[in-house]
A and B are shown apart, each in its own frame.
Chain A
Amino acid sequence: MYDEYFGQSHIMLRESVRKFIAKEIAPYVDEWEEEETFPRELYKKAGNAGFLGLGFPEEYGGSPCDIFHEVAYTEEIMRCGSVGLASSLGCNAIAVPPILAVGTKEQKQKYVPPVLAGDMIAVLGVTEPSGGSDVANLLTRAVRKGNKYIVNGSKTFITSGTRADYVTTAVRTGGPGHKGISLLIIEKGTPGFSVSKKIKKMGWLASDTGELFFEDCEVPVENLVGQENQGFYAIMLNFQKERLYLAVEAHAVAEIALEESIKYARQRNAFGRPLVGFQVTRHKLAEMATLVEASKQFDYRVAAKISNGQDAFKDVCMAKNFATTACDKVVYDAVQIHGGYGYCREYMVERLYRDSRLFSIGGGTYEIMNEIISKQMKL
């Protein structure tokens, strides 16, 4: 299926990810969800398998690939059944690109290879308690003093934040608005940098989500990524891919929920026949399958456009909104088909229902996506 996008190498990559999940994640994932964390060594294992370097340049330990290798990896890693774990494991995908895009050679050499190898955890710190989507108005301030920046402020909802080795941090160095934002690499252990708490969440339980504090935190000036007050653009560069991944994650989760529902509807009996024996169930499954298929085809098409270098700024926002809305509906129906069991922790759809709720919030909310789409429509 979809031979125009996926060839033999994509199939083999999927196989490697499936094996990795079967051996390294599946036996423990329920436990990790309960414990609300997973062992740090999983980063190393994923690094060794080459998964963390997908799409990154070879000279920094990455494996250059086409966009559909990344799509295939994203779809498969979701099959571990914990969106939080998969996302936490992949947190480097948003923290590293700004460094590679505008960082110095020294920064790239120091901060990229250890992350792709799984020896270091890198996260992106943009969102603040005072506002998330409104990136241009962030408040964390960095003031240059000699050869240091003195940083004061806080960040929240930082995926993998509690054990990050460094944070690619958005700070205000200039005046108000997006033209006053810079990026600083702030290392763990820098005086004045602390992780205040691990946030308790509805889903994404295996992922540690942190709130970070900077109090007169002294960051060497050589940790400035790109030029001062140009940080907003470096963040923006990666938004397109981040949104595409979220859309792909949403259709992948929806597909798993659909598969789980079909499996359940075949084996569960009610009133003397399996659930699939009822037209109401069959039609529900047919509608779910249609939504999954439409999201997938849309997402693949947008991925192909990005890969061809075509403008997909509007498309990717539409794809994200479409896929996340479709996913919301599919996981809702999946729980409905499972009945009481769908509300219980031992069934995968229960977790998918909670975990997928974030898709229309993270990486730009549903409303922000619509705002961008409507601007592109020149309304």
Chain B
Amino acid sequence: MNTVVCMKQVPDTETLIKINAEGTGIVTEGVKWVMGPYDEYGVEEALQQKEKFKAGKVTIVSLGPDRAIEAIRTGLAMGADTAVHINDAAFYEKADPYATASALAAAIKDLEYDVIFCGKQAIDDDSGQVPAILGELLGLPVITQVIKLEVADDKSKATVTREVEGGHAIIDVPLPAILTAQKGLNEPRYASLPGIMKAKKKPVDVKTVADLGVSVEPMTVIKEMSLPPARQAGKIIEGEDAAEKAKALAKALHEEAKLI
């Protein structure tokens, strides 16, 4: 089974995020970058499907600046076969989900695939739109938040379990299709040393947006970014006994917090 995995390199969740001086993005210096955790489920699922069918190719497609090659190499070290790196810093800088999906679609359209995996969202800007726009551009069905996948032996369709509020939905979808990976889909493997060594020799096709013939402008622009307000210090309710404290608490909730 052939698969494509869309992958974005994102800041590690443990990195301390700071807003840049212009207020339009984050300070990228000193940030530790990793493969998007939901994309990682996508890579793992692609590898497991390939192992199950004992045939096929896993291709990683990533849009990002030079540094993105590190996350691409990690995917190759996990076991992916090839990668397309759309390395175009100027485009990437201002790309919104539409522009990103347009670039990915252009890179993917000539590849062979039965399934395109995406993470359910990148954990940096959290827009979650790219898979849906990609589906529109490539004319493919999109199933989001997938936690289980069973592909028919003839690869004509798949039975997919997705998470919905308070339960699961089981869906049949014709292939090819775009599936977005949710936590629980699998347990991603660790890149082993043999995998790491092999990854060095695996082909990475580096392309600019111009190479791909994409000439779209972003539809949206980030005007301002801000950090959440710092948490206020807690308040200790004073009082002689429990009854008095309860009364003071009720008063504070009503008058200060305006919750009751």
Residue positions of A touching B, CB distance < 8 A? 8-9, 12-13, 15-16, 19-20, 48-50, 54, 58, 63, 65, 69
Which residues of the partner chain B approach A54 to less than 8 Å between Cβ atoms?
193
Bound-complex Cα distance A228 to B196 (A):
41
Given the known interface contacts A8-B73, A12-B74, the answer about A49 and B200 at a Cβ–Cβ threshold of 8 Å is: no
Pairwise interchain contact B192-A63, C-beta atoms closer than 8 A: yes
Given the known interface contacts A8-B73, A9-B200, the answer about A19 and B190 at a Cβ–Cβ threshold of 8 Å is: yes
Provide 16 A-B residue pairs closer than 8 Å at the C-beta atoms, listed in order of the A residue: A9-B193, A9-B197, A12-B74, A13-B196, A15-B74, A15-B191, A16-B190, A16-B191, A16-B196, A19-B190, A48-B190, A49-B189, A49-B192, A50-B193, A58-B194, A63-B192
State how many angstroms separate the Cβ of B198 from the closest Cβ of chain A. Answer: 10
State how many angstroms separate the Cβ of A368 from the closest Cβ of chain B. Answer: 33
Given the known interface contacts A9-B197, A12-B196, A13-B196, the answer about A20 and B73 at a Cβ–Cβ threshold of 8 Å is: no
Interface check B86, CB cutoff 8 A: no
In the complex formed, the residue of B with least CB distance to A70 is B193
Given the known interface contacts A12-B74, A12-B77, the answer about A50 and B200 at a Cβ–Cβ threshold of 8 Å is: no
Bound-complex Cα distance A243 to B77 (A):
31
Residue positions of B touching A, CB distance < 8 A? 73-74, 77, 189-197, 199-200
Pairwise interchain contact B192-A16, C-beta atoms closer than 8 A: yes
Q: Choose among B73, B194, B199 the residue that contacts A50 (Cβ–Cβ < 8 A).
A: B194
In the complex formed, the residue of A with least CB distance to B188 is A19
Which residues of the partner chain A approach B77 to less than 8 Å between Cβ atoms?
12
Pairwise interchain contact A20-B190, C-beta atoms closer than 8 A: yes
Pairwise interchain contact A12-B73, C-beta atoms closer than 8 A: yes
List 20 additional contacts besides A13-B193, A48-B190, A63-B194; criterion CB under 8 Å: A8-B200, A9-B197, A12-B73, A12-B74, A12-B77, A12-B191, A12-B196, A15-B191, A16-B196, A19-B190, A20-B190, A48-B189, A49-B190, A50-B190, A50-B194, A54-B193, A58-B194, A63-B192, A63-B193, A69-B193
In the complex formed, the residue of B with least CB distance to A46 is B190
Bound-complex Cα distance A3 to B195 (A):
21
In the complex formed, the residue of B with least CB distance to A22 is B14
Which residues of the partner chain B approach A49 to less than 8 Å between Cβ atoms?
189-190, 192
Which residues of the partner chain B approach A63 to less than 8 Å between Cβ atoms?
192-194
Which residues of the partner chain A approach B194 to less than 8 Å between Cβ atoms?
50, 58, 63
Bound-complex Cα distance A16 to B73 (A):
12
Bound-complex Cα distance A8 to B74 (A):
11
Bound-complex Cα distance A69 to B193 (A):
9
Bound-complex Cα distance A69 to B190 (A):
16
Which residues of the partner chain A approach B195 to less than 8 Å between Cβ atoms?
50
Bound-complex Cα distance A16 to B199 (A):
14
Bound-complex Cα distance A50 to B196 (A):
11
Bound-complex Cα distance A58 to B198 (A):
14
Residue from B189, B194, B199 with most neighbouring chain A CB atoms (10 Å) = B194
In the complex formed, the residue of B with least CB distance to A20 is B190
Which residues of the partner chain B approach A58 to less than 8 Å between Cβ atoms?
194
Bound-complex Cα distance A48 to B191 (A):
10
State how many angstroms separate the Cβ of A28 from the closest Cβ of chain B. Answer: 16
List the 9 closest A-B pairs by CB distance, nearest first: A50-B192, A49-B190, A16-B190, A63-B193, A12-B196, A9-B196, A16-B191, A63-B194, A20-B190
In the complex formed, the residue of A with least CB distance to B193 is A63
Bound-complex Cα distance A319 to B136 (A):
62
Bound-complex Cα distance A186 to B37 (A):
45
State how many angstroms separate the Cβ of A58 from the closest Cβ of chain B. Answer: 8
Bound-complex Cα distance A9 to B73 (A):
10
Which residues of the partner chain B approach A16 to less than 8 Å between Cβ atoms?
190-192, 196
Bound-complex Cα distance A65 to B77 (A):
15
Which residues of the partner chain B approach A65 to less than 8 Å between Cβ atoms?
193
In the complex formed, the residue of B with least CB distance to A73 is B193
Bound-complex Cα distance A19 to B200 (A):
20
In the complex formed, the residue of A with least CB distance to B197 is A9
Which residues of the partner chain B approach A20 to less than 8 Å between Cβ atoms?
190
Residue from B73, B77, B190, B199 with most neighbouring chain A CB atoms (10 Å) = B190
Which residues of the partner chain B approach A50 to less than 8 Å between Cβ atoms?
190, 192-195
Bound-complex Cα distance A54 to B190 (A):
14
Bound-complex Cα distance A361 to B209 (A):
61
Bound-complex Cα distance A49 to B189 (A):
7
Which residues of the partner chain A approach B199 to less than 8 Å between Cβ atoms?
12
Bound-complex Cα distance A65 to B192 (A):
12
State how many angstroms separate the Cβ of A33 from the closest Cβ of chain B. Answer: 23
Bound-complex Cα distance A24 to B40 (A):
17
Which residues of the partner chain B approach A9 to less than 8 Å between Cβ atoms?
193, 196-197, 200
In the complex formed, the residue of A with least CB distance to B200 is A9
In the complex formed, the residue of A with least CB distance to B40 is A19
State how many angstroms separate the Cβ of A121 from the closest Cβ of chain B. Answer: 20
